[in-house]
Amino acid sequence: MDIFSDRFSFNLCMKGKSNKLCIHQLDSMVIEVSSLQSIAIVASDASIKNNIATSISHTHISNQLLIKTLHHTAFITSTEAEMFAIRYSINQATSKTNVSKIVVITDFIYAAKRIFDPSSHPFQNQSVTILEDLCHFFSKDPNNSIEFWKCPSHLDWHLHKAVNVETKVFNPTPAYSCKTS
């Protein structure tokens, strides 16, 4: 990723900034890019309830919801669930031929930063897969890029709120109720 270090960035709502300022920054970014067909905006989130993780992502292009994904798995950490949601979102966005920029909006920026962490960590399998997709994406065109935007859940910002609400409404029903503790 050293070769492509100028192709990815992180935009954070810093502590001390007002919620209104963070919402304004997110709104401005979406207004600026929403009419462009070459930019994919992805909102992703994950939640764990009764040891079942729900990962959801919505991919928007030209101000339209293009892809909506929902995955469930059992007995993983919230970081793994968030990394998977980001991984799947990036995979879907990079598969579109006309996309030159991906904007990932997540409340778990820690997971996004781990993607680019070369040290050994428990999420390296997810990171390697994401980096392979991004290397291929960056190699296609020197202008291709990705931005990660932090959107804390408490902001209730519309694009992220939609995925956040969906992760929480899922009510898992165990297939084998005798194995539920």
Residue 176 is assigned to a structural domain of this protein: no
Percent of the chain clearing pLDDT 70 (strictly above): 90
Residue 144 is assigned to a structural domain of this protein: yes
What 8-state DSSP symbol labels residue 178? G
Residue 52 pLDDT greater than 60, yes or no:
yes
Backbone φ, ψ for residue 69 (5° rounding) = -120, 145
Residue 2 is assigned to a structural domain of this protein: no
Q: What CATH number does the domain containing 131 carry?
A: 3.30.420.10
The answer to whether the CB of 117 falls within 8 A of the CB of 127 is yes
Number of domains into which the chain is organized: 1
Residue 31 is assigned to a structural domain of this protein: no
Residue 6 is assigned to a structural domain of this protein: no
Residue 121 pLDDT greater than 90, yes or no:
no
Residue 5 pLDDT greater than 70, yes or no:
yes
Confidence of residue 181 (pLDDT cuts 50, 70, 90): very low
Residue 58 is assigned to a structural domain of this protein: yes
**pLDDT tens-digit profile of 11-35?**
887 656 688 888 999 999 999 988 8
Residue 164 is assigned to a structural domain of this protein: yes
The answer to whether the CB of 19 falls within 8 A of the CB of 155 is yes
pLDDT at 97: 84
pLDDT at 143: 94
- Strands, sheet with 39-49, edge to edge from the N-terminal-most edge strand: 8-11, 145-150, 101-106, 39-49, 52-61, 64-74
Residue 32 is assigned to a structural domain of this protein: no
**What is the average pLDDT value for the chain, to the nearest integer?**
85
Q: What pTM does this model have? A: 0.85
Residue numbers of the domain that contains 41: 37-171
pLDDT at 53: 86
The answer to whether the CB of 24 falls within 8 A of the CB of 11 is no
Percent of the chain clearing pLDDT 90 (strictly above): 25
